[in-house]
Every structure is written in structure tokens, then in C-alpha cells.
Amino acid sequence: MNAAIRAVVRQADALGHETWGIRHGYQGLLDKDWAPMPTRACANILQRGGTVLHTARCPEFLLPNRRAEAAENLRAEGIQGLVVIGGDGSFRAAEALQREHGVPCAGIPGTIDNDLPGTERTLGFDTALNTAVEAIDRIRDTASSHGRLFLVEVMGRSSGMLAVHTALACGAEAVLYPESPDDSYETLVARLYANWLRGKRSSIVVVAEGDGLGSAVAVGDRLRRDHGLDLRVVVLGHIQRGGSPSALDRIWGSRWGAEAVRRLDAGESGFYLGEVAGALALLPLAQVLDPHPSPPGDLSELVGILSR
């Protein structure tokens, strides 16, 4: 996100515009928690994780009267366009703000879930994926040495994108995620048993935190109860959300931040940016209301094939 913030500020400066940083997201719009953000304020933030503007949940923004208040705050301050970096909730709020009050909005996709419609990439996904894979590579050493089953929980409350890609990249034996078929537990047990018969004595199973079977802890408890398996559970948690961003996240954050400003400067609004087949994509902000994408089915199938 800091790469996108940096690009927004410096592209706006290059076009002769002043940028204001709004702290704590939509709560900052309501509280007028903002200040001018000159280009030098973005020095040495490219390599930092998180966001220098901070963020916060704002349930109040679901109320029409509070959105009207935010729009009036922007107008009173003379702010003529809003760049929103975030995921589904952030974009839905931006779509409502523009539709209801005419506030020009541009969206930059930022969520490690990588589950926004129309784009194959969101900021944070590549960094979180690499962080999870690096952690599981270390866990694999212990699993192999001790001949043990590990269930590793990654983030993904309603999307299995991170779980499936992590499982494929780290050579996991199986993956469980919210969009898994109803018989995923039985399939997991059968796969673990088949692996045992083939002589495999250690396994890694990646579990999304929002898997329909429950958390990795719940799945582990069930496997112990049903089959008496000796296993360990590792919950990676918020370690996936921090750390220095990957090169790809820095590059796309920079591209999207600059492009958002250029388009707002040209009079465009009501859009969010993305990536499709390696190219920068422009999507209508209302598309965030469409169904969210599921992980490609062939990837989860490939996890099982390649882990034999």
C-alpha cells in the first residue's frame, strides 16, 4: 500500500495537484483526520509493509447519513477526488460515495485475499504468498525429520485464493478452503491414507482460516478423534500481513497509484484498477458488487497430483 501512496502523491505533484493523506480510512473522512502530504513525506516508505496512513474499520460508513457527512467534509475542504486503496468493503463504500454524492473515486485493489472481481492481482497477495511459502518450507524440514503431519492455517476467511496458491507453491499434500467441495474432509483422509501406503511419512496440509470445516485447529481435532493421527497445527496468522513487500507488489502499487491519478486528472472516475494477463486493467467501480472469483479448480487438483 505504501508503494501506491507514494505513487499517488508524486504523480499528483508532477501534474500540479496537492495531495492530502487521510488517516485511518473512512473513519478519517468522518473525523477530518487528514493533512497535506507533500512528495517528501513519501521518502523511504516504498520498502515498508502496512500503510503509513494507518487503517481502521468504520461500521458507521454503512449508514447513508454518515456517507453524506463524509462527502460534505470533502467538499468543504476542497478535495476534488478520492483514491481508495483496499478490498471489497472499501470499494463498496467508495462506489456508494460516488453514486450517492458524486465524489470522484478511483480504486486500487489491496487485499491479501486476492478476491476482487475482474482482476487477477491485488496488492499484498504476492507478499503474503511468499511469506506463507517461506514459513511452510521451514515447517517441512521438521515434518520430514519427525515423520509428522502438519496442518498450516493461512488467511482467507471467505476466499481460498491464498490457501490454494500457497499449497501449490510449497508442495503441500492437500488444501482445504472455503470453496472446497462438501466431501473435502473425506477426500483429505483418503489422500493421507494413500500417501501412507506409498511410504510417505510426513505431510503438509494447508487450511484456509475460513474453511467450511472450521479452522486448522478444528480440522486437527477431528483427525485426531476420528483416526488417532499424530499431528501438529501451525497458525501463521498476521505474520502474513506484514514485512517488506515483494518486488511485484511494489511495482503494481506504483503503477496503479500513478494511473489512478492520471485518470482522475483526465476527468475519469468511478473505476478501480487491476491486472489481467499481465496488463493493467480498468474496471467499473460497480463491478465490485459482482460475485467474487473462486480459486481455479485445476490448481487444487494439481496440488494432489504433484504431491504424490
What gap in Å lies between CA 299 and CA 308, rounded to an integer? 15
Question: From start to end of 9-67, where are the E strands?
Answer: 20-22, 34-36
Rounded to an integer, the average pLDDT of 24-36 is 97
Average pLDDT along the chain: 95
What's residue 224's pLDDT?
95
pLDDT at 214 > cutoff 90? no
Of 102-106, 199-203, 222-226, give the lowest mean pLDDT range. Answer: 199-203
What gap in Å lies between CA 251 and CA 129, rounded to an integer? 16
Rounded to an integer, the average pLDDT of 106-126 is 97
Which one-letter amino acid corresponds to residue 237? G
pLDDT at 62 > cutoff 90? yes
Of 11-15, 77-81, 157-161, give the lowest mean pLDDT range. Answer: 157-161
pLDDT at 293 > cutoff 90? yes
> pLDDT by residue (tens digit) across 6-15?
999 999 999 9
Rounded to an integer, the average pLDDT of 143-158 is 94
What gap in Å lies between CA 189 and CA 211, rounded to an integer? 16
Dihedral over Cα of 41, 44, 45, 49: its sign: negative
pLDDT at 102 > cutoff 90? yes
What's residue 132's pLDDT?
97
Rounded to an integer, the average pLDDT of 233-259 is 96
pLDDT at 210 > cutoff 90? no
Q: Please give the DSSP secondary-structure letter assigned to residue 291.
A: P
Rounded to an integer, the average pLDDT of 212-225 is 92
| Residues carrying an active site annotation | 113
Domains assigned to the chain: 2-124+245-289 (3.40.50.450), 125-242 (3.40.50.460)
pLDDT at 181 > cutoff 90? no
Band (157; pLDDT cuts 50, 70, 90):
confident
